[in-house]
Amino acid sequence: MGDDDFESAGGRLKWARERAGFEDAAQFARALRIKEVTYRAYENNQNGYAKHAQEFGEKLNIPPKWLLRGGPIPDTDPPEPPQPGEFGTPELLTDRYGIELVRQVDISYAMGDGAVVEDYPETGFMPFQREFLRSITRSPISRLILATGHGESMEPTLLRSDMILIDTAQSRVAHQDQIWALTYAGAGMIKRLRRIKGAGGDSYLILSDNPSVPPQEADFEDVHIVGKVVWVGRRMS
């Protein structure tokens, strides 16, 4: 904690978290049962955390008022450092055995316009070896989600019961005809995308691998990219 930032609320929170023995933001987020990406935004001063200050203060044995407003460093004693497995199986798996829990979502139904991952209802978690995920993508684990195939439009490439790993950190369609998770006209879908230019501006051609499903042309601004499909798992019959 050599380069501590006591001038910002995020910096004070980070200092208090490290003082309490939580080695990284992800570990503390799991202890609080909140999303890692949400908690990191607090430490990075991207979002305020006034509504959580009391909870953070109790967990870190730090006055919530100091976390939010600063002042002289509190002379409270740090809490007992967290022990492996103290916060249940997720803590034990991730920290001791190199297992990451990837959030599963139902991409067929968006609670908003589908522009952000939080729009999709969470259905559970799936464990993956950290090294395996790193062999697929270098994006943060928190940006990965797991969905299940729906319908027959992408057969034979994707089947109805396939597990589909989506990298939400990838949202720019830089190569044609690759497979993306997206929403269009209020529906979530997994399709190939081809970017085309016309007199009225850019648009997408939404393509299915099933030849019986015709392509759709959609205005560029009407398509919300959720992320790129980077891995598919399939149960053999």
Sequential DSSP letters for 33-77 = TS-HHHHHHHHTTSS--GGGHHHHHHHHTS-HHHHHH--SPP-PP
Q: Where in the chain is the domain with CATH 1.10.260?
A: 9-84
Q: Where in the chain is the domain with CATH 2.10.109.10?
A: 98-233
For 53-70, write each residue's pLDDT tens digit: 999 999 999 999 999 999
The dotted CATH code for 98-233 is 2.10.109.10
Confidence of residue 111 (pLDDT cuts 50, 70, 90): very low
Task: Kindly state the average pLDDT of the residues 216-230.
Answer: 91
Q: What is the mean pLDDT of residues 34-54?
A: 91
Q: Distance (Å, rounded) from C-alpha 73 to C-alpha 95?
A: 30
Task: Choose the weakest-confidence range: 81-90, 103-112, 185-194, 201-210.
Answer: 81-90
- Mean residue pLDDT of the chain comes to 84
Confidence of residue 221 (pLDDT cuts 50, 70, 90): confident
Please report the pLDDT score of residue 114 as a whole number: 45
9-26 mean pLDDT: 90
pTM: 0.59
Q: For 140-160, how does the pLDDT look when each residue is reduced to its tens digit (9 = 90+)? A: 888 899 988 777 888 899 888
Beta carbons of 90 and 30 less than 8 angstroms apart:
yes
Query: Which residues touch 159 (CB under 8 Å, ≥6 apart)?
Result: 149, 234
CATH topology of domain 9-84: 434 Repressor (Amino-terminal Domain) (1.10.260)
